[in-house]
Each structure stands twice: as C-alpha cells, then as structure tokens.
C-alpha cells in the first residue's frame, strides 16, 4: 500500500500541532507496517527541497506560491495530483479541514481518502470571511466525501457530529500519542542558563503565538500578579507573519520571557523544571502541550474548554476562559510539582504512541482491503 500524507507544513522541527503529530506518528507507523510505503508531501519553504528519508518515511517537498491561506490550499491541490501521477498512491491522508476541501478530487482520482480533523479552524479570529467559508466547506466536504474522518479527541468528535450527524458511521476518535522521553541533561542546563531560570521557580506556557491561545491574557495577568511572582516563560512563535504575535511581543514586561520556538530536549527540560504549566487557550482540538506537561510531571492550570476537560483533572485545575484575576492569583501563588495526583503511567497507557499508530495502521488496512466499518472505538474516560 502506498500512502500519501498531505496537510503538514514540513518536518522535522517545524512548529505546529499537525507537524508535531506527523513527526511522531509516521515513523512509528513505518516500523509497524514495513510493507506500506509512506510519503509525506511537505511545503518547500518549510522543508529542504528535493526528497529525503526521515526515520523510515519518505519526505518530498513541493513548491506553492506564498500567501496566508492560499499557499495551503494550492499546495494541497498540487500534492494530490503529485500523489496520483508521480507516487501512484492508493490512499491519501489529509490533515486538517482546509486540505479536506480537496477530498472529492482525491476520491475522483481513485484514491481512498482519510481526513484527520485536528480543530474547528474556521473559529479562529485570524481568518477573513472567504477563508472561514473555505474551512467550513472543508469540514462539510470531509463529512460527505472522506472514507474515514479521524477526530483527535472525543470533544472534537462530539462537536463535529453535532454539525454533521450523517458522518457518524465513518468517524472515529484516535488521540495523539504521548511524547517519548527526550531527556537531555546538557540541553536542560543550557536552556535554563540561557533564559536565566531556576528549577521550579518559573511558570510556563507553550504554543503558537496565535490569538486563540490567549497569551495576551497571561501578560495582563502578570501585570496584576504579586510583585514577587516568579517569571512567566512563553515558548512558541508565530507560524506566519502575525500581527497578533507582533503586538504580543511588543507588550514588554520585566517578568515575562518570550523564549521562541523550542523542541526536543530543551522543551522537555522546560516542562520538567517548571513550577507551573498554564494554558489559557479558548479553543483546542486536542491539548497536546497539556499532555506533554502532564507527562513531564508539571502542576497545571487550564482554561475550562472541552479538550482540556478530557484530561479529567481536579476541578481546581480549571479556570474560566479570560479570567484574568484567577490567572493572576495562580501566577502569584506557590509553585511546585504535580499536586493533582495525576497517574503518569495511566496517562501514557491512555495516550500510547504505540496504540495510536496501531489504530492508524488498522484503519489503513481496512481501506486497503475492504469496506468494513471502523473499529477504532471511542476511548473510555480517564
């Protein structure tokens, strides 16, 4: 079976939830299904030109004209044609509801088609009317034309099926797998020294510098926090040239450190050494950075949204979206390691990378060999 994966910007080390997910998932799938040929089709400005192998997966980069929104759409179109004409792919896996807009073309060209629904992107305020309509149409098309729709959380699946109940038969939940340990003592010491941090003496937030992450709330909360509150470190960068990111970075505060994009051993060290992980976002398809923080043993404070509720933490771990005063109190309070008695072994079992890869492999096999209904069932509550 020849599988073309489309919808990611690139890898390795490219910021974004889809990119992180693909970078972790497909090498696992390559080991699990050695007879399958996996081709990741990335965008040239995020990935070296030409082709290369990444942990058993073939990565090809294609050019597309630059432009917020239009680049992703045109790259998906080119990638589907490339998958059919050059790769002779049997199956196309589209990541995101933007690329899902082209699912009918993939089907028309004779390729079975899976869409992974990562988030209701049309709800993001950065999009104008045309882009929002395109993304909403992509979700409708995924519900109608995809052979299977994978939702990355039960919360997202429930929202999707509320809008598209007729898609229930082909829709499944497969969560992201937990990150594998990348403990690197040298990287940890280096990043803490670079940022001037002490172990257990800072709060941490991680994510793209995007308005829906609401990092501006954290900056305002730090302005209201106690004068001796430990520093807040915000790890992340903008994906495109972002007016929001520019305005956020302009909000200078002596106890807010913008650390830029970090990954691998440096990011794990920042999780492990933080006294508190705080995530104020207003929407998520899946709380990947929350999972990373919990696996690292961090104490967490999370906005009260469905994707965060799936972790089933103590009520005290949640606060209302936009509650600046609550965030200021949390940032001013004592820091420490996980206080909610989260069972990390249980988390690793529930969000197993091996299980996630196995469920994807099963779905691929079903579409390759039969029209059987999906068997990747909704996972039980934590």
Interval 127-151: pLDDT, tens: 889 999 999 999 999 999 999 999 9
pLDDT of res. 381: 37
Contact 119, 285 (CB under 8 A): yes
Closest listed residue to residue 9, CA positions, set 95, 101, 126, 92: 95
Strand partners for 117? 151
Quick count: other Cβ atoms within 10 Å of Cβ 37?
Answer: 17
d(CA 248, CA 252): 8
- What are the backbone angles phi and psi of residue 260, rounded to the nearest 5°? 75, -170
- Residue 329's contacts (CB-CB under 8 Å, 6 or more residues apart) are 225
Q: CA quadruple 238, 244, 246, 251: dihedral positive or negative?
A: negative
Between CA 219 and CA 161 the distance in angstroms is 36
All structural domains of the chain, each given as residue ranges with its CATH number in brackets, are 2-177+352-369 (3.40.50.2000), 185-346 (3.40.50.2000)
- C-alpha torsion 93→116→27→64, nearest 10: 60
- Residues constituting the chain: 382
For the record, the structure tokens of 348 come out as: 């690793």
State how far the Cα of 268 lies from the Cα of 181, in Å rounded to an integer.
8
Q: Which pLDDT tens digit goes with each residue over 48-83?
A: 777 899 999 999 999 888 876 688 899 999 999 999
**Other CB atoms within 10 A of residue 323 CB:** 17
DSSP assigned state of 201: S
The DSSP bridge partners found for residue 39 are 4, 58
Q: Is 324 helix (H, G, I), strand (E, B) or coil?
A: helix
Say what the pLDDT of residue 326 is. 95
Quick one: pLDDT at residue 180? Answer: 80
Place of tokens 């001037």: 196
Q: Strands 51-54 and 57-62: what pairing?
A: antiparallel
Residue ranges of the chain with per-residue pLDDT less than 70: 68-69, 240-241, 336-341, 369-382
Closest to 40 (Cα-Cα) out of 56, 230, 31: 56
d(CA 340, CA 338): 6
DSSP 37-103: EEEEEEETTTS-SSEEEETTEEEEEE-----TTHHHHHHHHHHHHHHHHTS--SEEEEESTTGGGGH
């Amino acid at each position: 079976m020849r599988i073309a994966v489309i919808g990611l910007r690139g890898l390795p080390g490219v910021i974004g939830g889809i990119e992180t997910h693909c970078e972790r998932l497909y090498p696992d799938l390559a080991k699990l299904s050695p007879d399958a040929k996996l081709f990741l089709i990335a965008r040239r400005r995020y990935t070296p030109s030409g082709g290369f192998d990444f942990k058993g997966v073939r990565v090809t980069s294609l050019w597309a004209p630059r432009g917020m929104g239009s680049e992703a759409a045109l790259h998906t179109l080119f990638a589907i044609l490339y998958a059919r004409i050059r790769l002779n792919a049997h199956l196309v896996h589209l990541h995101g509801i933007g690329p899902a807009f082209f699912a009918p073309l993939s089907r028309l060209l004779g390729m079975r088609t899976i869409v992974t629904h990562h988030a209701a992107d049309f709800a993001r305020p950065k999009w104008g009317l045309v882009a929002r309509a395109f993304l909403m149409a992509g979700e409708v098309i995924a519900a109608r034309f995809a052979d299977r729709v994978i939702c990355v959380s039960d919360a997202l699946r429930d929202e999707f099926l509320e809008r598209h109940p007729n898609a229930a038969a082909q829709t499944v939940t497969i969560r992201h797998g937990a990150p594998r340990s990348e403990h690197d003592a040298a990287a940890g010491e280096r990043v803490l020294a670079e940022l001037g941090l002490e172990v257990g003496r800072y709060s941490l937030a991680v994510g793209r510098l995007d308005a829906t992450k609401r990092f501006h709330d954290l900056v305002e909360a730090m302005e209201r926090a106690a004068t001796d509150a430990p520093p807040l470190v915000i790890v992340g960068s903008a994906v495109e040239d972002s007016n929001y990111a520019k305005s956020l970075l302009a909000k200078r505060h002596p106890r807010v450190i913008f650390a830029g994009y970090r990954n691998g051993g440096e990011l794990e060290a920042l999780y492990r050494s933080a006294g508190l992980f705080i995530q104020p976002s207003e929407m998520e398809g899946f709380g990947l950075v929350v999972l990373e923080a919990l696996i690292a043993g961090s104490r967490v404070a999370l906005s009260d949204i469905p994707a965060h509720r799936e972790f089933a933490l103590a009520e005290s771990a949640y606060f209302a979206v936009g509650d600046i005063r609550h965030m200021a109190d949390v940032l001013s309070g004592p820091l420490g390691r996980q206080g909610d008695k989260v069972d990390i072994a249980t988390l690793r079992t529930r969000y197993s990378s091996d299980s996630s890869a196995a469920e994807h492999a099963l779905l691929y096999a079903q579409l390759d060999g039969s029209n059987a209904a999906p068997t990747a069932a909704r996972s039980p509550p934590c």
